Structure formats: C-alpha cells, structure tokens
Structure 1
Amino acid sequence: MINRMSKAKITKRVVDGAEPRAARYIVFDADITGFGLRVYPTGKKSWVFEYRPGEGGRSVQKKRITIGSTSDFTAEQARKVAEKLRARTKMGEDPQAEKATERKAMSVAALADEFLDNHASKKTSRTQDLYRDVLARIVLPKLGKMKAKDVSRADLSRLHLSWKHTPYQANKILVIAGSMYSYAGKHGIVPEGMNPARGVEKYKEEGRERYLSTDELERLGVAIREAETVGVEWNIRPDKKSKHVPKGDRRTVIGEHAAAALRLLLLTGCRLREILHLKWDNVDLERGLLFLPTSKTGKKTVVLNAPAMSVLTNLTRVGCYVIASNT
C-alpha cells in the first residue's frame, strides 16, 4: 500500500527532509503532474512518474514508471526526465508498456543486477553476499550474455552438472537461479511460470555438521591462550620473496577481543557473523542470554554457559559492539 501526500515542488530540501514511515509513500510535485518522490520504510528513495495511457481520463487505470533512485538522479535531473515522459504520454505513447517490452529482452546479467538490487537487498547481509558471489563467480560467466527469456532448463542443468564435484555449491546455483527467475516472472521480465531451475534434480548433500572432540577443544583452548600471550608463529612460503619480511621473531599476538571472539564461537555454537555483529544491547548477563535479532534462522535466543558468561563478564567494553575492532 502506498500513501499519497499533498503536492509540493520537489527540491533537494524536500528530498532530504522526507523521512521513512511504516508504509511507503509518494510526495508528488506541484509543477509536473505525475512526477513524484517515493520513500520506502527502509529509507530508500526513488523518482517515479504516474500517468494514464492512451487518451487518459479517470476511467483509465494509472501506470507508474520508475525513473531511478535519488542516488543516481538529482531532483533537477529527474524533473527533466519526467518532463520528457509527460510529453510522450501527451503524444499518446505508453512509456511503461515500451519499458515492459524492453524488459522481456533483458539479459541474464541485467536481470541479476535488478534481482540483487530489488529482491536480494531485503535479505540478510550474509545471504546477499552469497547471492552476489554465486551469480558473479558461476552463473554470469556462463549465462550472463544470454537473454533471460532464452535460458532453458538444459542450460541451467549443464551448469549444475559442471559443479557436481561440490554438491552443496551446485545446489545453491539452482536455488539462487530459481529465486531470480521467480522474481523475473512476477515482474513481467520473463513469461510468468518460466523457471529453468524447475525440474532440475538436486544432488544429495552429505551432512556438514561435526562436533569437536574433548581433545580438540583442549588443543584449541591452549592455542588461543598461546596466541594472546606469546603469539602465533608464522612463516612465509619458501618460494616467495619479500623485501619487507621481518628477520627477527615472526609471531603475532592477538588482542583481547579477537581471543574473546574465538572463545565465544566455541562456547556458544553461534555463527561467525552472529558473534562479530553482536552488540552489548543484545547481551543479558543477569539472565545469561544472548538475543540475536538477525540470525540466519531469524530471531533467536542463546543460553550462555558459565565459561561464556565469564568471557563476557571480563571483556573490556569498547563501543556498542561486543567484539571491538583494532581501528
């Protein structure tokens, strides 16, 4: 649902002052009919132009075309585009229909860009990184130049087959490509229902979970204590040369927060980003709980054991994050 505000001449001051609300809304321009600033609850802002195609009239349903984001167009630049669009509609043209025709011939690379910007951006940062990596590293080098509407099940099946040596990665290709084509179908980029990932059988994945033995836990504990006291010894590859390698003792001592991060990973079972992004506001030492607002599986609560409580209680607080950086 989009709320509509009273009209005002849209300037940079209006753009900067448009605060996000619970629902997205549009501020329409007082000078150019149909030209507006759309504001999302996330704070994202974009330029739009609304019009009635053909001969117009209230009986004709309005169409809306997106000009671009406020980071790509200034108010004056977007205004000039809107003026041109309005002139075209007055001549009986239908810019949105023409854009839809162009979108039907969109390449896979262009589709991937739009999918990442408009759909994947709603996911967690970790999921966004995964989507970008799989698309950029695997999908686009093989299929990026093809028209999105021309990619067949056989094309995607061959790509999936080429990664059979890593079943987990191969299956991620199907999942992400399938999600991308679902988005494309819903937005008219490809015919609705077209999805080349549908019907391609996934590989069976072996269980990836393994628990550390008592001996392994003890060795890790010793290694962390050594790293934060005398330091971790390191060497360069013998086949590499460097003029700036220190000739003395080659040891790196890790800081208090780096050691705490390693211990919390071992003691809580949390994922790496859950620990690195943990804020003190989400730590309840009185009840011994961690509240993770954006974990991979959604919001969750982690019960702390005594060793984990000890790590957090004795950790120096520097800023809002539990694990402070060195910078």
Structure 2
Amino acid sequence: MARAKLTDRFVASVKAPPKGRLEVFDQDVRGLILRVGPTGKKSWVFRYRTADGVQRRYALGIFLNDLDQSETETLPEGDAKRQALSLFQARALARDLINKVGVGQDPSSRREHAIEEARAEPIKSFNDLKDAYFKAVETGEWRPREKPKKASTIVRERQMWAAYIDEPMGELALTDVTAPRIKGLLRDLVAKGNGTTSNRVRALLRQILNFGLAEDKLIANPVDKVKALAPERVRDRVLSDAEIKSIWEVLEDPTGLLVPDLNPKKPYQSLQVSEHVRLILKLLLLTLARRSEVAGMRIDELNLEQSAWTISGNRTKNGKANFIPLSPQAKSVIERALELRQQLGLKDSPFVFASPRGTQTAITSNPVSHGMRDICRAIGIEGATTHDLRRTAATNMASERLKIPPFLIGRILNHSGETGGAAAVTMKVYALYDYAAEKREALGKWGELVAQIIKPQQPKK
C-alpha cells in the first residue's frame, strides 16, 4: 500500500490503477485512506482497531473534487459518511473517529446494528417495504446507482410517498401491488394535470420495488410493465425584459396588488409575500443559484469583504461546491437580508433566511415557489416559475447582449459538465481551473444588465 502526504491537487489528479484498486494512506492523519477504484472513482476510508484488537475499516464518503473550498469550512451537518468530502473534511472526520476509538467506541457498530435491524423486520405490506427501503438508503446499504443518496433526495422521496402513494397503496399487501393498480394511480395523477409528477412517482415506485426484488420479497417488479404515461416537459420559458421589470417592481413593493382566488364570494385576495421570499427571488435572478441553495444560504458561506458566496458540496445538486462571486447588486440584496435578520431577532441563526418556525432551520423552498406563483398571477404573467429566473439569466448571458461563453455559464450554474462541441473539450482540459475572475466579470455584467432593465436610463435631451 502506498503512503503519501495528501494534498488537494494530488487527490484530484491521481489516476485509476491498471487493475484492482489503489489505496493511499495519508501521512498526516493516521488511518485515513484514499481509495481509487478501477473506474477512477475515489472514496475515503478510515482504518482502525477496536478495543478487542480487531482491525476494521469504516467508509467515510466519496471524494469531493473541489479545489475552491476553503479550509475553514466546517463539516456538513448530519451523517458525514453519506456526504461528498474534501480532503480537509475527510481529515477532520478521521481525527474525530480517532478520538472515539481512543475511548473504546466502535464507529462501525452503529451502522451494522441499523442494517441488521432493517433486515430483521418482517415485510408484509407496501408500507413495510417502504420503511425497509428508506432505512436501507439512509444507512447506505442500498445504493441503486452505486453511490449513497443525498439526505435532501431522501427527504423529497419521503414527501412524494406521503403525498401521492401512501393513501392509495400504502396498506396494500405486497401481492396486491400490481401493474394495473400502479397504472391506475399514475392515470389519476395525469387526469389531475400532474403528468410530470406521475413520472416521478413511477420512478420512486420502481426503486422501492427493485429493493424488494433484491431482498427476495418479490419475484418481479410490476413497474416494469407500466410505461411512463406523460411526456417529459422540457421547459424553455425565458422572461422578457418587460416581465423582469414588472416582477422586480413587485419584489420592491407588493402593496395594493391582488391575487385571483377561486372563492366566488371573495374572488381576489391581497398579495402576501414576505420580504424574505422577495429577497430570495431577487438572488435567484442575480446569482443563477438554485432555489434551495439560496433559501438555505448560511452565514458561514458568505465573505462579503471579498463579495463571495461559497456553497458547500453537501448543499448542491451534483455534490460539488460552488463558488459564486457576488455582483454589487447581489451583495446589496444579501446585506438587506442580514439587516432584516437582525431586525427580526434572528441573529443567532446560522441561516441568512431563517425559518419563522425556528432559528435553527432555514426557510423552505415551498414559500419561494408560492411567492413567485402569486406575484405572476397578480401582474398577469403566465407560466413562470422560480427556475425560469435562472434560465432567463443564463439565456441573457449567452445572448448577443453579453456574449458569455457557454462553458463559463456552465461553471456559474455548477453543472457537472457541458455537452457537445468545444465547450465539452474545454471543460475537460481546464477542469481544475478556478475561473473565479471570469465568473466575477460575467456575473457583474449580468448584474449591470438587470439594473439597466429594471431602471432604464432616460435618453439625454
């Protein structure tokens, strides 16, 4: 086994071995191992001995290829072994485990107990199988795509089960979970206008039943006989300058606006959108970040002196940290959010947009989506969503107005990689290059364009 003083650059550049797997021991932290599989996939492992002298290995997580991440960043909350970890985070976690082993604890015992407990429980109903499935994905035992599911993905799957599957199918015996029943459930969703949701429900059902198949609880997966009933909609909605201006004006002051209501006795309701939500919507347009990333913005992610926001990998869709330079316009919005946080007595919260239900949680994505929906209904804009703000910004950047290169827009959007043509080649060649200066210039230009759109300069007389 090799031994080396691990660095970010070394870990990012080490190649897959010709055969088998490569393990490199870290010289700085005893027991920490970088494992490189035959496909080049990298992960962190901690080797230790129990109080009885038994040598064991404990999987910490996959490698987070992130050279932008500051070494002052704290470990992500929750179960770190399911996270993508940088070298700094893996070392911190390994040191913590060294301390636990030193006082006689066995890190593997808790995980093994959870797995055995899940296996021991009888599975008779669909709800039983669902419970076993979620325990298996949470412990990391079941990895449908050969990597642990992110905690946020598991939360969404639980919400989907509760909203669409639990009532019509949860209490069914496994033998009664048939293709006709599944097709009936999906047809009901399509009939209610939830076509895309029906596809997501089908995908979740397939995963849960595949788990049951692997556990020998089923002899076949009935979802295999049910095709997706709705075409996948590829959204291409881009807001016009006039729409951007109208929405921004409401984000500044929604006073006096009414939202159409289905109640015939009271066909209109006053538009109610909190300032927190309005500030989040502004940042979605200015930073091109995702809704959950902005809503969950943490104080320790911000460096306002350097006009920078770094989202850690455990909060992004692709598991890679994203460095977002803040334009003057975006920085101004965040400064107002921090003022509001102080005014509302939320200064002890780790979040910029703390939930009104408690300072230790962030505002959820739902009120942001509802706020965007109600604003658009109040001013007569149809078919616009929060994600359209991100698409609108990216489209304008790529247009003749700003002429930002596609690969750079991909870096700002934190996409895993661009497809096709020179952009894909460029991304492969310069995968380790930061592009911080270029991103700052691009977002600065976009911020200036937004400022010009919302307050166009009057022609000189």
Structure 1 residues 272 and 157, CA, compared in 2 at 3 Å: closer, same or farther? same
Secondary structure, counterpart of 1:296 in structure 2:
coil
Correspondence list, 1:262-301, <5 A: 262-285=281-304, 286=306, 288-293=308-313, 294-301=315-322
| CA deviation after TM superposition for structure 1 residue 209, in Å | 4.2
Match of 1:140?
Answer: 166
Match of 1:151?
Answer: 177
Secondary structure, counterpart of 1:190 in structure 2:
coil
2:156 is matched by which residue type in structure 1? Answer: L
Instruction: Identify the structure with bigger relative contact order (alpha carbons < 8 Å, sequence gap 6+).
Output: 2
| CA deviation after TM superposition for structure 1 residue 177, in Å | 0.6
| CA deviation after TM superposition for structure 1 residue 129, in Å | 3.7
Structure 1 residues 289 and 181, CA, compared in 2 at 3 Å: closer, same or farther? same
Q: Structure 2 CA distance, aligned partners of 1:325 and 1:224?
A: 19
Equivalent pair of 1:231/1:254 in contact (CA under 8 Å):
no
Match of 1:117?
Answer: 135
Structure 1 residues 108 and 261, CA, compared in 2 at 3 Å: closer, same or farther? same
1:173 is matched by which residue type in structure 2? Answer: V
| CA deviation after TM superposition for structure 1 residue 313, in Å | 4.4
1:178 is matched by which residue type in structure 2? Answer: R
Equivalent pair of 1:260/1:323 in contact (CA under 8 Å):
no
The TM-score normalised by the length of structure 2 is: 0.43
Match of 1:220?
Answer: 247
Match of 1:308?
Answer: 330
Q: Structure 1 CA distance, aligned partners of 2:215 and 2:159?
A: 23
| CA deviation after TM superposition for structure 1 residue 170, in Å | 1.2
1:12-61: CA deviations, max 9, x gaps? Answer: xxxxxxxx97699xx9xxxxxxxxx98569xx66858xxxxxxxxxxxxx
Secondary structure, counterpart of 2:320 in structure 1:
strand
1:311 is matched by which residue type in structure 2? Answer: V
Secondary structure, counterpart of 2:189 in structure 1:
coil
Structure 1 residues 321 and 173, CA, compared in 2 at 3 Å: closer, same or farther? same
1:187 paired with 2:187, answer no
Structure 1 residues 263 and 155, CA, compared in 2 at 3 Å: closer, same or farther? same
Equivalent pair of 1:226/1:232 in contact (CA under 8 Å):
no
Equivalent pair of 1:231/1:253 in contact (CA under 8 Å):
no
Q: Structure 2 CA distance, aligned partners of 1:159 and 1:6?
A: 53
Secondary structure, counterpart of 1:163 in structure 2:
helix
Structure 1 residues 3 and 180, CA, compared in 2 at 3 Å: closer, same or farther? farther
Correspondence list, 1:50-69, <5 A: 65-66=116-117
Match of 1:78?
Answer: none
Unaligned runs of 5+ in 2: 1-44, 53-80, 82-92, 140-147, 340-346, 360-461
Equivalent pair of 1:108/1:148 in contact (CA under 8 Å):
yes
| Percent identity over paired residues | 20
Unaligned runs of 5+ in 1: 8-19, 28-36, 49-63, 69-95, 241-249
Q: Identify which of 159, 164, 187 aligns with 2:190.
A: 164
Q: Identify which of 41, 50, 53 aligns with 1:5.
A: 50
Structure 1 residues 5 and 311, CA, compared in 2 at 3 Å: closer, same or farther? same
Q: Structure 2 CA distance, aligned partners of 1:252 and 1:154?
A: 43
Structure 1 residues 298 and 253, CA, compared in 2 at 3 Å: closer, same or farther? closer
Secondary structure, counterpart of 1:145 in structure 2:
coil
Q: Structure 2 CA distance, aligned partners of 1:135 and 1:217?
A: 36
Equivalent pair of 1:120/1:131 in contact (CA under 8 Å):
no
| CA deviation after TM superposition for structure 1 residue 127, in Å | 2.7
Which is further off, 279-288 or 260-269? 279-288
Equivalent pair of 2:251/2:279 in contact (CA under 8 Å):
no
Greater fraction of residues in helix? 2
1:6 is matched by which residue type in structure 2? Answer: A
Q: Structure 2 CA distance, aligned partners of 1:186 and 1:3?
A: 31
| CA deviation after TM superposition for structure 1 residue 108, in Å | 0.6
Structure 1 residues 115 and 3, CA, compared in 2 at 3 Å: closer, same or farther? farther
2:127 is matched by which residue type in structure 1? Answer: A
Equivalent pair of 2:130/2:208 in contact (CA under 8 Å):
yes
2:170 is matched by which residue type in structure 1? Answer: G
1:323 paired with 2:353, answer yes
